[in-house]
Amino acid sequence: MLLLIRFNGVKFLQEMRDKTIMFVGDSLGRNQWESLICMISSSAPSINTHIIHEDPLSTFMILDYNVKVSFYRAPYLVDIDKIHGKTTLKLDEISVDASNSWRTADVLLFNTGHWWSHTGSLRGWEQMETGGKYYGDMDRLVALRKGLRTWSSWVLRYINSPLTRVFFLSVSPTHYNPNEWTSRSKASTITQGAKSCYGQTTPFSGTSYPTSSYVNQKKVIDDVVKEMKSHVSLMDITMLSALRVDGHPSIYSGDLNPSLKRNPDRSSDCSHWCLPGLPDTWNQLFYAALLY
C-alpha cells in the first residue's frame, strides 16, 4: 500500500527558506495555491505572514523564513494580447512580464487545460496567432499542443533544472456531465438522477475510473512533458480527482445569488474544489515530490 507522507509545515518552511514557490496557470492553480497557504498556516500557526493580491501576480510571504508562495495568473501559459483591436491568443509567445516573473522562482508548478476548450461567451479570445497568421479558431487540441510546445521551449531555454524545480499539474476534471459517472451506477454510490455535482456527498466508488471530458487534453500534456524528459516532473492528479464528484463547491461557493441557487443543475460550480479538500491531496503529493 502506498501511503502519503504527512505534510509538515515547519519542515516545508525550513527546506524552502529564502526561496520562492510559484504556481502558474488558471483558477485550478489558484485553488492549489490557496490550499498550500492554508496547510502552511495551520501546520505552523505562529508564523508572521503578509499577503499581496494583485493581477497577474499574488504573493503570500512567510516573513520568519523569507519564503514566498506566489500565484501567477496565466490560464493559457502563452501570451494573450490585443492585436488590431482583437483579443489574440499568441500560441508562439510567452509574455515578457510572465517570463521575468517566472524566472524569479526556485520552484515552479504550472497548469493549464480548461480555458482551451471554452466556447461562446466563455471563450477568452477572439482570434489565435501562430506562424505569423491569424485564425478565428482551430482544433483546440492542436492549439493546446502548440501552446505547450512554446511553454516547453521557454522552460528549456530559461530554467536551469539543477537549481530550479519544475512541475506540471495534469488536467483537473470537472463533473458537469452525469454521463461520465452514471453509466457505472450499479458499481457506485453516486446519487441517481444527478444532473451535475450538486447533491453528491460521497466519492465515486466503482471498480473503474469514471471517464473525463479532458482525457484528450491530458494526453497532449503527457506527450509534451514526456518530450522534455527530466526537466519537468508531471503530477498526474486527473484520475484520482475524477473520483471526487462530491468535492466541488456546487452552489456553496459564496458567489451565487438566491435566484441562481434555486437552479443548482445550471449554476453549480463543478470545476473548482472545496477547501479543505482535494487540492490538499495534490499538495501532499507536491510536498512528497519536492522534499523526498
- For residue 128, being part of any structural domain is answered with no
C-alpha cell at 247: 468535492
Per-residue confidence (pLDDT) for residue 187, from 0 to 100: 38
Kindly report the average pLDDT of the chain as a whole number: 91
- Catalytic (active site) residue 269: yes
Domain count along the chain: 1
Instruction: Read off the pLDDT of residues 130-142 as tens digits, 9 standing for 90 and up.
Output: 999 999 999 999 9
* Partners of 135 in the β-ladder: 128
Beta-strand runs (E) in 93-245: 107-110, 127-130, 133-135, 165-169, 233-235
Find the helix packing angle between 215-227 and 140-158, rounded to 10°.
Answer: 30
Per-residue confidence (pLDDT) for residue 82, from 0 to 100: 97
Q: Is 263 a residue whose pLDDT tops 90?
A: no
| DSSP reduced 3-state for 249 | coil
Q: How much is the average pLDDT of 260-270?
A: 80
Per-residue confidence (pLDDT) for residue 5, from 0 to 100: 87
- For residue 86, being part of any structural domain is answered with no
Q: Is 232 a residue whose pLDDT tops 70?
A: yes
Could you say which of 26, 79, 246, 269 is catalytic?
269
- 266 or 251, which is more confident: 251
Q: Is 155 exposed, middle or buried (0-12, 13-18, 19+ CB in 10 A)?
A: buried
- For residue 119, being part of any structural domain is answered with no
Instruction: Read off the pLDDT of residues 276-288 as tens digits, 9 standing for 90 and up.
Output: 999 999 999 999 9
- For residue 258, being part of any structural domain is answered with yes
**CA-to-CA separations, 9 to 12, 45, 69, 238, in angstroms, rounded:** 5, 9, 13, 25
Q: Is 51 exposed, middle or buried (0-12, 13-18, 19+ CB in 10 A)?
A: exposed
209 pLDDT tier (thresholds 50, 70, 90): low
Most confident of 109-118, 177-186, 210-219, 256-265: 109-118
Could you say which of 26, 27, 35, 196 is catalytic?
27
- For residue 195, being part of any structural domain is answered with yes
- Catalytic (active site) residue 271: no
**CA-to-CA separations, 252 to 24, 259, 272, 274, in angstroms, rounded:** 26, 13, 11, 9
190 pLDDT tier (thresholds 50, 70, 90): very low
Domain residues for the domain of 23 are 9-75+96-113+160-291
- For residue 141, being part of any structural domain is answered with no
Q: How much is the average pLDDT of 174-203?
A: 69
Q: How much is the average pLDDT of 85-112?
A: 98
Per-residue confidence (pLDDT) for residue 183, from 0 to 100: 52
Q: Give this prediction's pTM.
A: 0.93
Among the listed residues 87, 123, 99, 120, the one whose alpha carbon sits nearest the alpha carbon of residue 24: 99
- Catalytic (active site) residue 117: no
Q: Is 193 a residue whose pLDDT tops 60?
A: no
Per-residue confidence (pLDDT) for residue 178, from 0 to 100: 81
How many other β-carbons are positioned within 10 Å of the β-carbon of residue 72?
24
Q: Is the peptide bond before 276 cis (omega within 30 degrees of 0)?
A: yes
Q: How much is the average pLDDT of 227-253?
A: 92
Q: How much is the average pLDDT of 108-134?
A: 96
- For residue 44, being part of any structural domain is answered with yes
Q: What is the CATH number of the domain that holds 182?
A: 3.40.50
- What does the alpha-carbon distance between residue 256 and residue 243 come to, in Å, rounded to a whole number? 25
- 64 or 182, which is more confident: 64
CA angle 150, 161, 283 (to 5 degrees): 85
- For residue 82, being part of any structural domain is answered with no
Q: Is 211 a residue whose pLDDT tops 80?
A: no
